[in-house]
Amino acid sequence: MGELRCAAIDLGNTSGRVSCGAFDGKKIMLQEVARFPNPKVLIGSAVKCDVLFLFSEVLKGMKRLPDIASIAIDSWAVDFALVDVRGDICTLPHHHRDPRTRPYMQRFSSLEDQRPWYRSTGLSFQPINTSLQLLSMVENCPEALERAETLLLIADLMAYFLTGEITCDATNASTTQLLSLSDRCWDVRVIEEIGVPKKLFAPLVRPGDSLGTVTQALASRYDLNQRARVVSVGSHDTASALYAVPLVDLHHVAVVSSGTWSLFGAILENPIVSDAALLAKYNNELGVDGRTRFLKNIMGMWIIEELIRHWELEDGQRISYDELFGAARGSAAHAAVFVPDLDRFFAPVNMEDEIKHYLQDTAQSCVCDRAQLVRLVLEGLALSYRESLEQLQLITGVQYSKVCIVGGGSRVGLLNQFVADATGRDVIAGPAEATTLGNVLSQLEFHGEITTKSELVEVVCASAKIENFVARYSPEWEEAYGIYLQLKNAVRA
C-alpha cells in the first residue's frame, strides 16, 4: 500500500509546530515542516496570546504539505478567544498566566465552596481555569462578553479559521470546569452561576468527527489541499499525548505528560470526585477513547524554560539544553530541596532570582551555579512526582508499579532517572513526540487504518524511541523527600 499522509498541527505553551505523519501500514514517520515560538504578548498590564501570529505560522507550514489526506489540530488548554457575530475575534485572548484570576481563587477557598463544582465538573480550582477567567470578565469587562457570539478554545479557534465551522472538542472542553461530568455536555448550572451567556458555548464534537475542509479562500491564497478533511482529535495536547502511551494495559501504570506543565496521574474507567481527590487537586478530564484522564498539574519544565529564557537574554545567545542537562548530571546531589509547585514560581519576573529567594526563605544554602540550579529543579520535580504518586495510590486504591513518561520532558534522561529513584518505580520514557503522534493516530483511526488498541500500541512502539529506567534505592532520596514534605507542609500552614 502507499503511504497515508496526515498533517498534525500542535500548538504548545511555548512553541508550535506543523508536522507530517506518513503511515506505511506499520509505522508513522514524523517530519516536522515548521516550528515557531508561541510568545506571550504584554498589552498594557494584560498577558495575551498572539493567535493571529500562530495562525499565520500554521498556514506557512501547511503550504509545505500539498499531498495530505487529513489535518488535525491540538493545543494547550483553558485559554479561549471570543468571536463576534461577524466571525471576527473580539480581542487577543488572555493567557492563563495573566494574574486576573488570582482574586477569584479566594472566593472558593473552602472545601464547602469547591465541592459542588468539583462533583459537577470533576475539575479542581486552579487560577488557570477557564471558569475563573470568565468570572473575571463578568465582573471586570462584561461588555466584551456582550459583544461576543461564541467562545472558542485555541485549537477550536484554529479549526474555525481553517474551515469556517464553529465547534468545540470535548477533550479540551473537559479542562474548562464548564463541562458536566455526568453527560459530558456543557454544565448549564455552573455557566449560569458564573453569569456567562449560554449562547457562547459551541456544539461539542468528539475525536473522530469530521470538521469539514479548508475554506476556498484559504485554499486559493495559500495553495492548500481542499480535499483533505479537517478532523477532530484530542485537541487538548495532553489528551493526544496520553493516547500515544506505548502500553495496552495501564491499570497499574501511572502516566505523566511531561512538557511546560507536567500532568501526573492515571487513565481510569470512571471519574473520582472524592474529597481526597479534590484536596490533592486531581482533575477528571476526558480522554480520546472516552476514558477519564485523572491528572493533576505540576509546574513541569516551565521552570527550566524560564531559567533558560532569562539566561539566553543575559548571554545574548542560545543555550544548549543537552549541554546544560549534562552539566547538571555532574553537579552535587541534593544540595538543597526544591518544591516546584508553589505560587511564587507560577509567573515570576525572574525565575532565577525567585529560586534564590526561595532558598533564602527556607534557610537553605544558596545554589548559584546554573547547572546546580537545573539539577535542583529536576530533583524537585521528581520529589513532586513521588508525592503525587502516593496521593494517587491512596485515592484510587491501586498500587502503581511503573511510571510512563511521554512528551518532550521524556527526552531528559536525568529527570527520568530521578523519577525512578525518587518514586522507587521503573520508568518507561517515550514517545517524546507523543502529542503529534497521538494526533496522527487519531487521524489514522478516522481513515480506518487502525481499529484496535493493540494495533495502536504496535504502531506507537514501531514509530518511536522508548527507553527504560530502573529504580535504584538511595537513602539520600528518602531524606530529601522527608525535607520536601516538611517544606510543603510549612507553606500550607
- Active site residue ranges: 237
What b/e readout covers 26-44, taking b as 16+ CB neighbours within 10 angstroms? eebebeeebebebebeeee
d(C-alpha 398, C-alpha 384), whole Å: 19
DSSP run (H or E) holding 492: helix 475-492
DSSP run (H or E) holding 17: strand 15-23
Amino acid identity of 200? Answer: L
C-alpha cell at 223: 495553495
Give backbone dihedrals phi and psi of 9, rounded to 5 degrees, phi first. -105, 120
| Cα Rg of the chain (Å, integer) | 22
Q: How far is CA 196 from CA 118, 141, 146, 201, 342, in A?
A: 19, 12, 9, 10, 31
Which among 265, 298, 325, 306 is positioned nearest to 484, based on CA atoms? 298
Alpha helices in 330-407 (DSSP H): 351-361, 370-396
Question: 389 by DSSP, 3-state: which?
Answer: helix
Q: Work out the burial of residue 385: count CB atoms within 10 Å of its CB; fewer than 13 is exposed, 13-18 middle, 19 or more buried.
A: buried
Beta-carbon contacts of 184 under 8 Å, excluding residues fewer than 6 positions away, are: 170, 174, 204, 286
Q: Are 409 and 301 in contact (CB under 8 A)?
A: yes
Alpha helices in 122-212 (DSSP H): 130-140, 142-147, 154-163, 170-173, 188-194
DSSP single-letter state for residue 236? B
3-class SS shares of the chain: helix, strand, coil, % to 5: 45, 20, 35
Establish whether the linkage from the previous residue to 431 is cis, with ω within 30° of 0: yes
Beta strands 4-11 and 46-49 are: unpaired
Which among 186, 163, 164, 11 is positioned nearest to 93, based on CA atoms? 11
Which among 62, 10, 14, 61 is positioned nearest to 37, based on CA atoms? 14
Q: How would DSSP label each residue in 41-58? A: EEETTEEEE-HHHHHHHH
Q: Are 170 and 285 in contact (CB under 8 A)?
A: no
Q: Is the dihedral of CA 409, 36, 128, 302 positive or negative?
A: positive
